[in-house]
Amino acid sequence: MDLFEYQGKQYFARYDIPVSPGGPADTVDEAVKEAASAGYPVVVKAQVQVGGRGKAGGIKLADNETEVREHAGNILGMDIKGHVVRRLWVEAASDIDEEYYVSFTLDRSEKKHLMMLSREGGVEIEVVAEENPDAIVKLHIDPVDGLSEAIARQACINAKLPDRAINGATDILVKLYRCYDEGDCDLAEINPLILKPTGEVHALDAKVTLDGNAEFRHPEWDAFRGLTEMDDREKMAAERDLQYIGLDGTVGIIANGAGLAMSTLDVVNQVGGSAANFLDIGGGANADVMAGALEVINFDENVKSIFINIFGGITRGEEVAKGIVEAMGRVDLKAPIVIRLDGTNAEEGRQILVDAGIPEDKLRSEPTMLEAARAAVALAS
């Protein structure tokens, strides 16, 4: 779950990470109220989960109530890269001497957490990595050991932060790691982390992604769902309890297992196609699950073919085939299906599909993932 900036700052505050005083606002009057509470001057910031807010006019400085009303009125309802602004964050403006970058995420290849720290903040870390990679300090953290104050301090020194920022930055690094670890985040990022003229170090922005697998430990996360941005396909999939991520290609993907689904996206790309989605139906491929998956895929106007990639382990091939046949009777599909069915009882499953008498222009079977991908891409073209 990706949080909005204001939600990320609220999450940071639970771990005593210093953030600017402020509050969310859904109307102009609420923005004025929050500005008065935070104290002028304030910054009025659009809350959308996309970069480039400032360039689009979604972040404005206001010195008084008149300016808050003007900026809030202009920003609410604004379209920023396809994201409509429905909420603002109004916070006290900060004086800035320097801007830094810090984040924690998981490096799966190393099986450790990864901290990235740079003295060059305020821009995307990808830009820094490309233009000045030496400006980024990377530190792998064993989850058993965690991040000590001594190691955090040395990282600040290695990043060449000025002496007057070391203590404050060290403190925030330790707290941010605790937020990332105990708070079950996939990503905890501050960009920029600022140094004020007074010597204080302060989180001016917040980018937080929560690990959905840890949701059972955090009933309080329900409060973050109000403005979660999902397109219509993702909403439909969520209603059917399907693991779905919408993309912008033309080949609809259904697979059983996240790893197989990702591999399917890769092989479609490998043979010159583009995936319309990631959809993992897990271990259950009965008629209800398959019908739900096909309904979601069918809803996407961009889908020109559907690639069903099933490897039966616990899932048995004949049950998958029965589910597909029954689901096709329920859903009026606009795109043809290509299926690769392998694993447990796959031969029986393939025979069920043949016996169903479904025309080949509606459903065809291929023996391998690569051949099925080529067929699906050809149909989509």
Residues annotated as part of the active site = 101, 189
Q: What are 210's two structure tokens?
A: 């929560």
Q: What are 123's two structure tokens?
A: 């821009």
Residue 179's contacts (CB-CB under 8 Å, 6 or more residues apart) are 11, 12, 14, 15, 17, 185, 188
Q: What are 317's two structure tokens?
A: 């091939």
Q: What are 229's two structure tokens?
A: 């941005």
Give CA–CA dist 17/77, Å, rounded: 31
Residue 360's contacts (CB-CB under 8 Å, 6 or more residues apart) are none
Q: What are 360's two structure tokens?
A: 């080949």
Give CA–CA dist 187/210, Å, rounded: 7
- Please report which helix (H) or strand (E) contains residue 25, including its range: strand 22-25
**DSSP conformation class of 251:** E
Give CA–CA dist 202/83, Å, rounded: 28
Query: 294, 371, 374, 366: which is closest to 335 by C-alpha?
Result: 294
**DSSP conformation class of 283:** T
Q: What are 116's two structure tokens?
A: 């990235």
Four-point Cα dihedral 156, 195, 183, 261, nearest 10: -80
Give CA–CA dist 310/307, Å, rounded: 10
Amino acid at position 95, single letter: D
Q: What are 132's two structure tokens?
A: 């000045």
Give CA–CA dist 36/18, Å, rounded: 20
Q: What are 27's two structure tokens?
A: 């109307």
Q: In what order do the strands lie in the sheet with 88-92?
A: 22-25, 88-92, 42-46, 59-62
